[in-house]
Structure 1
Amino acid sequence: MTSSTEEQTPHAASLTRPPLRYKTRIAPTPSGFLHLGNVLSFALTALLAERYQATIVLRIDDMDQQRVRPEYVQDIFDTLNFLELPWHEGPRDAASFAGEYAQRHRMPLYRQALEQLKDRGKAFACNCSRKDILQLDISGRYTGACLDRNLDPGQPGLSWRLDTRKPEPLMMNTLQGAVAVALPEDQQYFVVRKKDGCPAYQLSSVVDDAHFGINFIVRGQDLYASTIAQLYLACVLGNDAFQRSLFYHHPLLILPDGSKLSKSAGATSVRYLRREGKTPSAVFTLIGNQLGIPGALKDWRGLSMLLPT
């Protein structure tokens, strides 16, 4: 993989090929009502899509069925429509999502990627519980306890982990150019298939981005390490398109106590603010003021000064 950013960033022009067409996505998880941090990420994605004439795909990550509820799925559409945040491809409502776009419709793609990892000897079965992992490492970091146990991957109730012992030369393409990155310690041997047999987030996200043709990914800074893990996985899978994607990791909204927003923080949910009578302008003004933008904002475009130049 070359470190050249000739076609990998919007700032560089190619003398021999047409400019790359970008496709980005917003990818909420329906495990709670959307909060202001989600809105910030969606707005910045929309702003960058406008800047680089990118298509926006709505991709709802509903693999964790134990946490998904119909009202959370509906809240995604209610929030996007209320705030007039745009998307060009993907479901337009909860019914079309369930009928065409839910992740269960792509299970054959996930299974194909998992079998590819297993057949290449890149995945290994693991029966460690969280308690087992903590006993082996007080930090909770998995250290590869099942690497050489040769557990049967077909046995039910086992997770599959990626064998990350081999260093891979990874480059992350950013708005400022390509940078070399290495898999962090806390991402070693990450799970690619959960104990229930479903694909883990890292694998389903990489497969979904390939399926939808995504090549411009906007995420919060808290997912930086996760991006590196996905670059590593894409390298192992031979997914060159994902490795060539452009990434932007934006700052987070922080609560007064210094913690990041979560879906359990009801007072920051858009649903709560709507019920309190807040307008879209008031929601974006609240976000902007928290991030140092003075005055009132008319809509999501008022957050444009947060973008890198």
Structure 2
Amino acid sequence: MTDPVRVRFAPSPTGPLHIGNTRAALFNYLFARRHGGVFILRIEDTDTTRSEARYERQIYDTLRWLKMDWDEAPDVGGPFAPYRQSERRSYYRDAVEKMIAAGNAYPCFCTAERLDELKRQQAAAKLPPRYDGRCRDLPAEERQARLAAGEAHTIRFRTPRFGEIEFRDLVRGRVKVALKNLDDFIMVRSNGDPGFILAGAVDDILMKITHVLRGEDHLTNTHRQLLIFQALGSPPPAFGHLPLIVGDDGKPLSKRLGDLGIFDLRDQGYVPEVLTAHMARLGWAAPAEARNLAELAAAFEVETLAKKPARLGLPDLKHSQARWIRRATPDQRAAALRPFLGDRQPAGLDDRLALFAEEAGTLRELAEKIAALDVPPDFDAAELQLLRTTGSRDVLNTLVAKIETSADFDAAVMTAAIAAAGERTAAKGKQLYQPIRLALQGDLHGPELAQLAAVLGRGETLTRLRRALAAAEG
């Protein structure tokens, strides 16, 4: 590439970042770093009714948490500042005036009520919704008189009625559309706010954006923005449209999954490197050995992105997080777990982490298991029925006696005590292990019993065994 690569992530601060738009940020980031380019964070806050400062702050916080640093943005500035669209209105006005003067745009006085009625008529006739061009060719005198009277209006682009618009998509290859299938789209709303299509195109020109990677759902916007680039006499950036993300059933994401925020996943107990590696695989065959952003960037090639929809794969994400927990060092696990434990920092944390490292899928699950270890179990009716069998009581009584007579206590002593209880009572398998696990943990599944008892210690192990026996007698 001869020109320096300049890409942008341009979210609207109208809600938290979710997997879909964050994946777009990630691919732009990887592309920029792969080619030694510039990664720009631009805030598209022209929707004044929905944009909020708290969501803009959350955009910064989310990208920082994911370790995606930027080169130009509202908070750090840059050669093409400002980077917040609400501060760039004069640029959009200049572009619109230029297009109106050249006959490429015009004011539209149609009311919302008229446009709604037009859509109803088109739907009834089974026609696609499309502006009918009523204001497209108004006499100049009438147009000026209505403007002078202050009549509310939008600004529409005058889309040519004939021909095609074609471009080479970095992901999909050649894409073209007949201009007759595009209507005269709105560039400026009736309240004066620039629309997404106009502002994005003007900013891409002025900020010298070379490549745009974004979701496939923006494909129709690209057709319209290419017309704006053409009208303003500017070469367009190269566009690449990322495949849609679908559910594991191959169907469009439900609202619950589609709105799944990055910080929702963080709060469930996923670490940044697991999330970025997973998102990188949503439409790209990222190398399995790539463990961080630098390694992903070194391998990233936009031409290898997939065209078909990418499955969200939440079970795969959880599996990857569980693998991280197992492979992390004790210090890494302890540091990542700290926000989930809060002020609760139980004694013997390293031992507890080792005990449950194979059991937990996320950091939150790990923290819950560690915290639950401090709470003696209660037993429901089915569990009490199991504890009340003669075999269960014999196992627990024998185990208590064996531990009481042991000079020391550790995992090896507990292993020997369990073996002795099994030999004395002739219990084995579930008959031997289930009453012990219920007594110690209140569950029929969990970590290795001898290690669990060692973490609890002799006193607490005996207390829980005796408590289970008392509950069985009750």
State the TM-score, normalizing by the size of structure 1. Answer: 0.79
Is 1:181 aligned with 2:176?
yes
CA contact (8 A) 2:243 2:283 kept: no
Where 2:303 maps in the other structure, the secondary structure is coil
Counterpart in the other structure of 2:316: none
- Name the structure 2 match of 1:259: 252
Q: What residue is the counterpart of 2:291 in the other structure? A: 298
Q: After TM superposition, list the pairs within 5 Å mapping 1:118-137 onto structure 2.
A: 118-126=100-108, 127-129=110-112, 130-137=115-122
Q: Distance in 2 between matches of 1:290 and 1:246?
A: 21
Residue in structure 1 matched with residue 269 of structure 2 by the alignment = 277
- Counterpart position of 1:209: 204
Structure 2: gaps spanning 5 or more residues? 305-474
What letter is aligned with 1:269? G
CA contact (8 A) 1:35 1:263 kept: no
The question of whether the paired residues in 2 share the 8 Å contact of 1:113 and 1:237 is answered with yes
SS at 1:182 equivalent: strand
- Counterpart CA distance in 1 for 2:291 and 2:222 is 32
Q: Secondary structure at the match of 1:111?
A: helix
After the TM superposition, which of the residue ranges 170-179 and 220-229 deviates more from structure 2?
A: 170-179
Pairwise mapping of residues 1-309 of structure 1 onto structure 2 (< 5 A)? 10=1, 19-92=2-75, 100-126=82-108, 127-129=110-112, 130-138=115-123, 139-150=128-139, 151=143, 152-153=146-147, 155-167=150-162, 170-175=165-170, 179=174, 181-182=176-177, 187-239=182-234, 241-242=235-236, 245-256=237-248, 258-260=251-253, 265-266=258-259, 268-287=260-279, 298-300=291-293, 302=296, 307-309=302-304
Q: SS of the counterpart of 2:88?
A: helix
Unaligned runs of 5+ in 1: 1-9, 11-18
- Highest RCO, 1 vs 2 (Cα 8 Å, sep ≥ 6): 1
**Gap change, CA 1:52 and 1:290, over 3 Å in 2:** closer
The RMSD of aligned alpha carbons is 3.2
Give the equivalent residue in structure 2 for 1:14: none
Shift of 1:41: 0.7
Contact 1:24–1:49 under 8 Å retained in 2 = yes
Q: Structure 1 stretch 50-59 or stretch 75-84: which is displaced more?
A: 50-59
Task: Answer 1 or 2: which has greater helix percent.
Answer: 2
Larger displacement relative to structure 2 (144-153 or 198-207):
144-153
- Which shows bigger deviation, 192-201 or 122-131? 122-131
Q: Report the TM-score, using the length of structure 2 for normalisation.
A: 0.54
Amino acid at match of 2:42: R
Confirm or deny: 8 A CA contact 1:22 1:53 kept in the other structure. Answer: yes
Whole-angstrom CA distance in 2 between matches of 1:184 and 1:142: 14
What is the deviation of 1:254? 1.7
Query: 1 CA distance for matches of 2:163 and 2:200?
Result: 20
User: Once the two structures are superposed, what CA deviation does each residue of 1:268-301 show, in whole Å capped at 9, x if it has no partner?
Assistant: 1012122223211232354356658697973445
